Amino acid sequence: MPELVSTRDPNAEPVPYLDALMSKASHCGLHIPEDASYPQFNRTELDTIATLNFEQLAIVVKTYLTNAAIPYTAQTRLAQRAYDREAFPTTKDGNIAPVQQIVGNLLVQQLSLGPTAAFKDFGLRSLAGEMNYALEREDRHLNILAGTSGDTGSAAEAAFKGIERVNIFMLSPKKGMSPFQQAQMGELSGENVHNLSIVDGSFDDCQKLVKDPTFQKFGAVNSINWGRIVGQLPYYFSGYFQAIEATGGTIGDPVDFVVPTGNFGNVFSGHVARSMGLPIRKLIIATNENNVIHRLVQTGEYYNTGSTITSSPSMDISVASNYERLVYEMFEGDPLLTRGYMREFELGKRVLLQDYGLDKSAFERLNIESGTSTHDDRLKTIDGVRMLTDGELVIDTHTADGVAVAMQRDIEVPTVCLATAAAVKFEASVREAIGRIPERDARFRGLEERVNGSGFVDLPNSQAALEVYLRKFVDADVFTTA
Ligand SMILES: *Cc1c(COP(=O)(O)O)cnc(C)c1O
């Protein structure tokens, strides 16, 4: 398969997969295969890979997509580490991304059995192993600087914990994260993991610090990293095959996926899986009250009206960065048109597909649809799913967003709603919905009390203070001095 180019640069020198993991695409674009063309699995190949276990499936899919950037033996070692029992202690029948039938064609795929109980574990564990492989090959070390307001921080730290060639520095606002999320990160601190709590700073302040030119040479792990998109493919394949089996279908039959969407990374992975020949029919984007993407799909207008805090906070966005990759494809791989469209949005907060020779029918042609939910919808859905499963399944608010959107529609074909987080992460809302909270997994019992606020270093919201702190751990030549 082609190497990776920039969505915004017609003169970009294509880069191989492993290089793309550790560099930024030129002209502030995102990495994407040239012309958004992907290798295809044919029907016979799909029949064959349907029999593989999750680990083997992941190796095959990633080898296809990355043009065997990592040899098979190394892939096997990476997959064993990414998906091991210690990280996923509570699999269902050995599957780490099990699909459960709720009723008829309505299914839920559990993506929150990993170490931090959110689907981000998949993308980040895959990325961490591959980055480490690339660093070993070049005998290099990497310092990562990132910001988080919730799930990304703990998932990245759990993924990179103990990886010797990487130091990870994670900025978070002192106020704003839930006690559970804070405790998850606090518990991971130590060795190569550093938690920096920005006093009097918001998540946006953290992002601003990360983007300061002084820290330009630090590595990034945010959701626009191509390696994270690739690391999210295996569960679509596994989910498809399980859905076919659960509903008595045949491989080749259509399956819809509903994806609780924030930054458009997860749903874009689904789009890539479909582009590789997986018979996904529709991808249905579910948004909460921050419904910029829902409005885009319904009208063709991409309009940043700011964001508000909701009960599914990991989807509280005002821009959806990975949408740019779809734009590049809708514009038939034209980087100048993509750049113009994105620049117009960035400068004026608003852009119309209609001004670029397209309209909302572009989404229809790609079989991408959307829906939205409110806090009330999500609470009712949590309770509804609990009743439909005789109390067995209690979903979180993000998953509820997806299931609510699925239930607003005619469910014509098997429909897999991705469960992007576990209820334990958002217990307050779950209690509001059903009047109780499910028993926690052993590993999460008493977490907040155990950690008790430890594991963070306080820093003022200042570039200079951050630089002084980082210089204690990081070589001088990593800093860009003006
Ligand atoms: C990050 C996150 C999302 C949004 O995923 P995107 O890839 O950014 O669209 C949804 N649900 C949960 C629980 C998350 O942590």
- Over residues 428-452, the pLDDT tens digits come to 999 999 999 999 999 999 999 999 9
What band does 201 get if pLDDT is binned at 50, 70 and 90? confident
Q: 12 pLDDT exceeds 90?
A: no
pLDDT mean over 390-406: 97
Neighbours of 95 (CB within 10 A): 18
pLDDT mean over 313-334: 95
Compute the mean pLDDT over every residue in the chain, rounded to the nearest whole number. Answer: 95
What band does 59 get if pLDDT is binned at 50, 70 and 90? very high
Q: 468 pLDDT exceeds 70?
A: yes
Give the whole-angstrom CA distance, residue 22 versus residue 220. Answer: 7
What is the pLDDT, as a whole number, of residue 92?
79
pLDDT mean over 379-388: 98
pLDDT mean over 139-146: 95
What is the pLDDT, as a whole number, of residue 2?
61
Q: 1 pLDDT exceeds 70?
A: no
Q: 265 pLDDT exceeds 80?
A: yes
Ligand 1 site, residue 228, Cβ cutoff 6 A: no
Q: Which residue has the tokens 């295809």?
A: 40
Ligand 1 site, residue 36, Cβ cutoff 6 A: no
CB 103 within 8 A of CB 388: yes
CB 136 within 8 A of CB 165: yes
More confident residue, 433 or 178: 433
State the virtual CA torsion across 98, 104, 106, 110 in degrees, nearest 10: -10
More confident residue, 221 or 348: 348
What spacing in Å lies between the alpha carbon of 235 and ligand 1's midpoint? Answer: 15
Q: 330 pLDDT exceeds 90?
A: yes
Give the whole-angstrom CA distance, residue 292 versus residue 301. Answer: 9
What is the pLDDT, as a whole number, of residue 203?
85
Ligand 1 site, residue 310, Cβ cutoff 6 A: no
What is the pLDDT, as a whole number, of residue 395?
98
What band does 35 get if pLDDT is binned at 50, 70 and 90? confident
pLDDT mean over 394-419: 97
Give the whole-angstrom CA distance, residue 372 versus residue 288. Answer: 5
Task: Please tell me the residue having the least CA distance from ligand 1 atom 11.
Answer: 420
pLDDT mean over 164-174: 94
Q: 459 pLDDT exceeds 90?
A: yes
Task: Please tell me the residue having the least CA distance from ligand 1 atom 4.
Answer: 262
Q: What percent of the chain has pLDDT over 70?
A: 99
Ligand 1 site, residue 263, Cβ cutoff 6 A: yes
pLDDT mean over 230-254: 98
Q: What's the Cα-to-Cα distance from 19 to each of 9, 164, 242, 268, 395, rounded to whole Å?
A: 17, 19, 34, 21, 38
Q: What's the Cα-to-Cα distance from 377 to each of 116, 175, 400, rounded to whole Å?
A: 26, 28, 8
What is the pLDDT, as a whole number, of residue 90?
85
Q: Output DSSP code: residue 440.
A: P
Ligand 1 site, residue 314, Cβ cutoff 6 A: yes
What spacing in Å lies between the alpha carbon of 234 and ligand 1's midpoint? Answer: 17
What spacing in Å lies between the alpha carbon of 85 and ligand 1's midpoint? Answer: 24
Cα 145 to the chain's mean position, in Å? Answer: 18
What is the pLDDT, as a whole number, of residue 436?
95
Ligand 1 site, residue 223, Cβ cutoff 6 A: yes
What is the pLDDT, as a whole number, of residue 211?
87
AA letter at 342: M
Mutate to test the pocket of ligand 1, among 119, 321, 417 (most ligand atoms within 8 A of CB): 119
Ligand 1 site, residue 262, Cβ cutoff 6 A: yes
Ligand 1 site, residue 265, Cβ cutoff 6 A: yes
For residue 378, what are the contacts with CB-CB under 8 A and spacing of at least 6?
Answer: 288, 311, 312, 397, 400, 401, 404, 429, 433
What is the pLDDT, as a whole number, of residue 482?
56
Can you give the pTM of this predicted structure? 0.96
pLDDT mean over 339-343: 98
Give the whole-angstrom CA distance, residue 125 versus residue 228. Answer: 9
pLDDT mean over 284-301: 97
